Homo-oligomer: A and B are copies of this chain.
Amino acid sequence: MKKMTPILTVRDQIAEQIRLDIISGELAPTSKLNEQDLATRFGVSRGPIRDVLLQLTKEGLLSSKSNCGVTVSNALDPELQILMSSLREKIEIHAVRKLKNKLSDDDINELNNILLDLELAFEKEDFIGVTQKDVEFHRYLISAAGGEQLVNIWYPIMLRLRLNYDRIAHGQECVDEHKVIVDSLAAGNISQAVTGLKENIR
C-alpha cells in the first residue's frame, strides 16, 4: 500500500500551530492567550479553541487558572530540567534498544529524508521548520519502538524541555548528531546509537 498522508482534525492543526508558536519563542512565557482572539485568528468558534488550550495545558506548555484563562508556561527550574532530561533519555534509549534489527530499509530511508529536510530548514534559517523536523525525527523512533502509547508519554516531556532550549540552534552539529544515530541503527550498532542519542539530548 502506498504511504498515506494523514488527515488532521481542525483541532490538531490549531494545536500544532500554537505549540510551534510557544516552542519557537514567538509566544513568550507568561503571555496570556485570549480564547476569542484565537477563535478569530483561526476562523473557528471558541469551542475548539478551548479544547486545544486544554490539551496544551496538559502537555505543560500552558498554565491555567480557573476562570482566569491560560498563560504560556515558564521554562523549567534547572533541577527539574535535569530530571526531565534524564527521563527523556531513558525513554529514547529504551526505544533505540528495542529497535535493534527492527528497522526496515524504508524506515531508514524515511529517517534520512527527515534529516534532509532538517538540513534544508537550517540552510534557509527556517527555525520553526528545524524544530518540526527535529521533533519528527525523534518521534519516528519512539513511535516505531513503542507505538502511540510510548509517544504519548514522551511527547509532553520533550515539549517541556523545549521551553528551555535556546532559540538559535547549533546548525550542522545537530544534523550530524542525528545522522550518527541513523547510521548506527542501520548498522545495528546500538551502543553507538545510544551514545549519539545522549550527545544529542544533553
Is A102 part of the contact surface with B, judged by Cβ < 8 Å? no
Given A50-B51, A55-B54, A66-B9, verify A90-B83 contact (CB < 8 Å): yes
**How far in angstroms is the closest Cβ of chain B from A51?**
6
How many copies of this chain does one complex carry?
2
A58 within 8 A of B: yes
Q: How many residues of A are counted as interface, with CB atoms below 8 angstroms from the partner's CB atoms? A: 30
Q: Does A98 contact B (CB under 8 A)?
A: yes
Contacts of A153 in B (CB 8 A): 60, 84, 87, 156-157, 160
| Interface flag for A14 (CB, 8 Å) | no
Contact (Cβ within 8 A) B80 A98: no
- Give chain A interface residues in 114-170, CB to chain B under 8 Å: 146, 149-150, 152-153, 156-157, 160
A90 in contact with B87 given A50-B51, A98-B79, A152-B60 (CB within 8 Å): yes
A201: interface (CB < 8 Å): no
Question: Nearest chain-B residue to A67 (Cβ)?
Answer: B9
Between A and B, 28 residue pairs with Cβ closer than 8 Å are A47-B47, A50-B51, A51-B51, A51-B54, A54-B55, A54-B58, A55-B58, A58-B156, A60-B149, A60-B152, A60-B153, A76-B149, A77-B149, A79-B98, A80-B149, A80-B150, A83-B90, A83-B150, A84-B153, A87-B87, A87-B90, A87-B91, A87-B153, A90-B90, A153-B156, A153-B157, A153-B160, A156-B156
